Amino acid sequence: MYVRNDPRLVPPVLGLLFAALCVALAWKTDWPAWLRFVLVMAAIVCGTASVMALVDWAVHETSTRIKEMRWAQVADAVQLSNAVKGLSTAQVEFVRSQTVAEVFGIPGDDGMLWRIRFPGGDVELEFIEEFLRASMEVPGDYLWPVRDHTSAHWVAWKDFMDVELKLRILTDGLVHFGKADPATGRYSAKLKPGVTIGDLAEWFRVDL
C-alpha cells in the first residue's frame, strides 16, 4: 500500500538555494559556455521542482489548519456523542442540547461586532437581544413569529438586513439547542417547559 509522506519545508528551500547558487555561478564565473549552460538548466529544473514542492507544502499546511479549526468547533460534541452511544432517544436529545453555540467577534468601526453561530448561519448578538425583547410581548411561552417583522410597534429590526432569515435561523437554533419546541400556526416555536425568556437572556449573556 502506498503511503504519502507529508510535504516538508526544508527540501524546497534547499532546492531554491541550490538553484540560486547555480545561477550565480553561471552568471559570475568565466567557466566554459557549456558548463554555464548546464548550471542554468540545473537551476531551472531544480528551481521549478522546488517551487512546486513549496506550493504543495503550503496547500498541505493550509488544509491541515482548516481541518484543525473545523474539528475544534465540533470536537466537544463529537466526543460527548461517542461517550454516550446506546442511550435512549430522550437521552440523545439531551446530548444534542448540550452542544455549545459558537460566539465570535468581527472588528467594526465602533468596536467588535459579536455574533452567534447557529447550525443555519450567524446572527448578531444585538439582533438576538431585540428578538428576546419582542418575545416578551408574545402571549404564553411562544417566541416572536418568524414572518411578523413589519409591525409598526416593533421597529428595532429595521436596522438589520435579512430580518426574516435571521428570525428563522435563530428560532431553528433555539429548537436545535433544546431551548424551544416547534409550534404550528402563527408562531414558529414555543419555549420548552421550565425555560423562560430570562433564561435565554442569561444563556446569551444579554441584558433585557
Give the pLDDT confidence of 79-138 residue by residue, as tens digits. Answer: 656 655 665 565 555 555 555 566 666 666 666 677 888 888 888 888 888 888 888 888
In which band, very low, low, confident or very high, does the pLDDT at 186 lie, cut at 50, 70 and 90? confident
pLDDT of residue 191: 92
Instruction: List, as one string, the DSSP characters of 43-109.
Output: HHHHHHHHHHHHHHHHHHHHHHHHHHHHHHHHHHHHHHHHHTTT--HHHHHHHHHTPPPEEEEEEET
* pLDDT for residue 1: 42
Of 79, 127, 72, 145, which Cα lies nearest the Cα of 102? 72
**Which residues touch 122 (CB under 8 Å, ≥6 apart)?**
115, 116, 169
Residue 35 amino acid letter: L
Read off the pTM: 0.51
Q: What are phi and psi of 123, to 5 degrees?
A: -130, 135
DSSP label at residue 77: H
Inter-residue contact 191 to 179 (CB < 8 Å): yes
- Which of 44-48, 62-66, 82-86 is most confident? 44-48
Strand partners, 121: 118
For cell 440523545, the residue is: 92
DSSP 25: H
Q: What does pLDDT average to over the chain?
A: 79
- Using the predicted structure, report yes or no on whether residue 152 has a pLDDT greater than 60: no
Q: Which residues pair with 180 in a beta bridge?
A: 191
Amino acid type, 207: D
CA angle, residues 20, 25, 28, in degrees to nearest 5 = 115
DSSP H helical ranges for 89-196: 89-97, 125-135, 163-176
